Structure 1
């Protein structure tokens, strides 16, 4: 069984390498995939609309066997028993000094789930090193990769979308004083 899993991961890595500019690292049982997202800023009144396509990294977690999480079954219709993985996907981009950024998702946004419990589709985000000149906005989402049905029938399904199809939407407000009253 262990040899089959190794072959599966090796084939998955080779497939992804042939399809993109992806570097692959191995860390114990978790695979880490690195890429560079495309970040576009579109000026609008008092800010920028920011669209980030792709991702910086994603990791495949442990193998799961059985039914998918309830919300995924409800949303996707995949209601059998599967071999699947929950993948954490991250996109990060450099903020401008004056940025105050919020995430938003409309019906055209391609995202995964907000948390690994797969409760609802969305994104979680943080600002990295907020007090430094090297501010980055970091967004996380979670995807399901179904590799096979429990009876052994091979599958290759990403849900709700492939990490290569992710599209993150943000809005950057300009000239907003984000300092607290204590800082004044």
Structure 2
């Protein structure tokens, strides 16, 4: 009886150990935190142009062994097999008011990818009130390539490193003044 339990336990342990090679799991919920810099670029007609550099949080949500998504591999000429992590980068700010720009395509900006990775840009929206100010959330996506299939360290962020992210939006100061614009 003991011999049968031992063999059964050994079989289960070997089976579980063999399964672990095909799947990559994210250990300890890999999240980076930072304090972004906000720069007021000025403006007119009751609008201020705001540039935010950096991020508030950048969290890994997926890990894979294999080729990068086709559009990303083509853009960065990285066609081999890699261990890579998908990240969602966010910046959270407090504003008096905001002009909602929706999904933007900022090819000349240091923005991450849109959610489907087909273009560069970010989504921005308001999601609540804190201390009599609107909470503004902007979100974009990054890929971190750790190593190739030969084990060679790559250590590359696509399209930019999280600390190089730039988010640009308009802050509306005077909605009444905007109504008079033709």
1:30 alignment partner, SS class: coil
Q: Is the 8 A contact 2:62 2:86 kept in 1?
A: yes
Correspondence for 1:92: 92
CA deviation profile, 1:49-102 (whole Å, cap 9, x unmatched)? 100000000112232010101110121111111110001100111112x43343
Highest Rg: 1 or 2?
2
Contact 1:62 1:86 in 2 (8 A): yes
Residue ranges of structure 2 left out of the alignment (5+ in a row): 1-16, 18-25, 177-182
Q: CA deviation at 1:133?
A: 2.0
**What does residue 20 of structure 1 align with?**
none
2:106/2:121 contact within 8 Å kept: no
The answer for the alignment partner of 2:112 in structure 1 is 112
Aligned to 2:82: 82
TM-score (norm 2): 0.74
**Deviation beyond 3 Å, 4+ runs, structure 1:** 103-108
Instruction: Provide the aligned C-alpha RMSD in A.
Output: 2.3
Alignment of 1:1-184 (within 5 A): 29-46=28-45, 47-96=47-96, 98-102=97-101, 104=104, 106-115=106-115, 117-129=116-128, 133-176=132-175
Deviation of the 1:131 alpha carbon: 9.4
Report the CA distance shift for 1:61/1:172 in structure 2 as closer, same or farther (over 3 A): same
2:179 match = none
Equivalent residues of 2:49, 2:168 under 8 A apart: yes
Between the two proteins, the alignment pairs up a number of residues equal to 150
Q: Is the 8 A contact 1:29 1:61 kept in 2?
A: no
- Give the match's secondary structure for 2:73: helix
On the 8 A contact 1:53/1:167 being kept in 2, the answer is yes
Structure 1: tracts of 5 or more residues without a match:
2-26, 178-184
